[in-house]
Amino acid sequence: MTGEPAFCVCVPVRNEERRLPVLLAALAAQDLPGRISVALCINNSTDSSLPQAQAAADRWKDRLDIVVDLQTFPEHRAHAGAARRAAMSVGLKHLGDRSDGLLISTDADTRPPSNWLSANLAAIADGADLVGGRLVLDDAEPISADVAALRRLWDAYWREVRAIEDEIDPSPHDPAPRHGDHTGASLAIRAAAYLSAGGVPEQPTGEDRALVIAAQAQGARLVHPLAVWTRVSARTTGRAAGGMAEAMTRLFDQARNGGPIMAPDFSHWRQRARWRRDQRHDAASARRLSALETQLPAMPLDMDLRGWANDVARAAA
Q: Compute the radius of gyration of the chain from its Cα atoms.
A: 20
CATH, residue 244: 3.90.550.10
* Residue 263 within any structural domain of the chain: no
Which is more confidently placed, 105 or 255? 105
State the pLDDT at residue 238: 44
Half-sphere exposure of 166 (CA within 13 A, CB side): 15
pTM of the predicted structure, to 2 decimals: 0.91
What percentage of residues in the chain have a pLDDT greater than 70? Answer: 91
Comparing CA positions, the residue from 304, 253, 237, 314 lying closest to residue 15 is: 237
Name the band, by pLDDT with cuts 50, 70 and 90, for residue 143: confident
| pLDDT tens figures, 200-210 | 999 999 999 99
| pLDDT tens figures, 183-192 | 999 999 999 9
* Residue 101 within any structural domain of the chain: yes
* Amino acid occupying residue 51: P
Whether the predicted pLDDT of 243 surpasses 90: no
* Residue 163 within any structural domain of the chain: no
Rounded to 5°, angle at Cα 177 from 171 and 178: 70
| pLDDT tens figures, 41-73 | 999 999 999 999 999 999 999 999 999 999 999
Whether residue 12 has a cis bond before it, omega within 30° of 0: no
Average pLDDT, the chain: 91
* Residue 303 within any structural domain of the chain: no
* Residue 1 within any structural domain of the chain: no
In which domain, by residue range, is 204 found? Answer: 7-144+171-256
* Residue 154 within any structural domain of the chain: no
Mean pLDDT within 253-262: 72
**SS3 state of residue 175:** coil
Name the band, by pLDDT with cuts 50, 70 and 90, for residue 237: very low
Domain count, the chain: 1
Comparing CA positions, the residue from 12, 14, 62 lying closest to residue 39 is: 12
Contact 38, 27 (CB under 8 A): yes
